[in-house]
Structure 1
Amino acid sequence: MKTVGVIGGIGPESTIEYYRHLIAVYRALKPDGSYPPIIINSINLKAVVDLLEANDLVKVAELFVAEIQKLAVAGTEVGLLAANTPHIVFDEIRRRSPIPLVSIVEATCEAAKVLGLKRPGLLGTRFTMQGDFYPRVFATAGISLVVPQPDEQTYIHDKYMGELVKGIILPETRQRLLAIIDRLKEREGIDGVILGGTELPLILGDVTDRGIPFLDTTQIHMQAIAARAWS
């Protein structure tokens, strides 16, 4: 059994979900009353966002490498970034990391392949929707990603940072997000939705009535780390 290291705090609400559901995944794998070793390093979300806003990706990578090194010193053997957006520099972070890391993007791509998706929609922060780190990985599997219109991206990002990261879940925000997804389905012919922000499942994780699968990247990521560390 390996000790899992989690870079959390990005944001806090989803970090809580990571811990809760990692325990649940472990219990399902090992129903013997034992519990897994997990170490969480909860970092300052504002520091990360400020660097992203400044497009200083070199310092973003340096920040995460330094925080992962703390996890390594604490005894972790495999790690993850409990958010989608930091994967904008995942290749560089993984190259410099002292421990193996499990990518949320790669794990989600594998899940999309299993479902046979060819044209899913991608929701997340604007850094995620406008970045190339999701399309680049999915292109290797022959999957094209579709993002919302610019004004819709602005709405999603603002609600993500202004509400979801703070644990604020409003019915009107949920309805507007679903309307954006409906338009993507009608306008672009998407065959699935990637909830490419770990706070998005908090507001959309229970949706089952849109006729297309919703990929909960948080759950997918946890299954991947469990397979790597505890199988």
Structure 2
Amino acid sequence: MRTIGLIGGMSWESSAEYYRIINQCVRDQLGPLRSAQVLMYSVDFGPVEQAQHAGRWDDTALILEDAARRLQAGGAECVVLCTNTMHKLAPRIEAAVSIPFLHIADAAALAAVEAGTLTVGLLGTAFTMEQDFLTSRLTGHGLTVLLPDADERKEVHRVIYEELCVGVISDTSRRTYQRVIQSLAARGAQAVILGCTEIGLLIKPEHSELPLLDTTALHAQAAVAFALQD
């Protein structure tokens, strides 16, 4: 079994989900007492969040490059960045180490293609929805990506930072997300990519009229596939 390196803490709420899903998948595949070989470097999200909203991406890149190097030095055999938004810096993190970097958008796109859902809605932070670092990776796999309108994007973003990242799960916010998903469906979306690793804490399959492509679960499953491959 290969050792998985996780860069977590953004937020720790979703990083805990990565750890749970990875270990459940290994147990399911190898037996009831089996678990994953995992290293996690968990950053302090406060300075990262401040730098995000101030546009100081170079500052956050230095933090994540250092985290990746520490994982490699500790024996990790791949890097899994447990956040969609910080994949904006994926090229820099990938260049900082010699071990594979498993990109979150690849895991989501492959699942969409396998399901035949080539037109997808994307929910995430404003950075993820409004910049092209994730959408361009998705369209590179042949997907058409639909985004919520400006007001919807603002509310989706607010809920992530003000509620989900601090463990608040609100029925009111769930209904807001459901309305956004309904709007995407009306525009032709065949599935919705939960392009923020916290959204799966709020929106489950039973809450959506469209199939969900949860990047947290799909990325974690990709990490397990890497760890267990011959």
Aligned to 2:217: 219
* TM-score, length of structure 2 as denominator length: 0.95
Q: Residue 24 in 1 paired to residue 20 in 2? A: no
- Shift in Å at residue 208 of structure 1? 5.8
Aligned residues: 229
Check 1:206–1:185 CA distance in 2 against 1; reply closer, same or farther (3 A cut). Answer: closer
Q: Superposition RMSD on alpha carbons, in Å?
A: 1.4
Contact 2:178–2:208 (Cα < 8 Å) also in 1: no
Sort the Cα spacing of 1:33 and 1:93 in 2 relative to 1 into closer, same or farther, 3 A.
same
Runs of 4+ in 1 over 3 A off after TM superposition: none
Report the equivalent of 2:228.
230
Residue aligned with 1:215, SS: strand
- Residue type of the alignment partner of 2:219: H
Mapping of residues 123-202 of structure 1, within 5 Å: 123-186=123-186, 188-202=187-201
Describe the SS at the equivalent of 2:176: helix
- Is contact 1:68–1:98 with CA below 8 Å preserved after alignment? no
Q: Is the 8 A contact 1:18 1:218 kept in 2?
A: yes
Is 1:86 the equivalent of 2:122?
no
What is the CA–CA distance in structure 2 between the aligned matches of 1:83 and 1:107, rounded to whole Å?
13
Distance 2:97 2:62 in 1: 10
- For residue 197 of structure 1, what is the amino acid of its counterpart? C
Per the TM alignment, residue 117 of structure 1 is displaced from its structure 2 partner at its CA by 1.8
SS at match of 2:66: helix
Cα offsets for 1:135-186 (capped at 9, x unmatched) = 2112222211111111111111111100000110011110111011111212
**Identity of paired residues, percent?**
31
Per-residue CA deviations over 1:31-90 (Å, capped at 9, x if unaligned) read 162322111111011222222212222232222110111112222111201111110111
TM-score, normalising length: structure 1: 0.94
Contact in 1 for aligned 2:68/2:96 (Cα 8 Å):
no
Cα distance in 1 for partners of 2:46, 2:102 equals 24
Query: Distance between the aligned counterparts of 1:180 and 1:209, measured in 2?
Result: 10
Q: CA contact under 8 A between 2:123 and 2:195: conserved in structure 1?
A: yes
Stretch moving more, 195-204 or 94-103: 94-103
Partner letter of residue 4 of structure 1?
Answer: I
Is the 1:207–1:214 Cα contact (8 Å) retained in structure 2? no
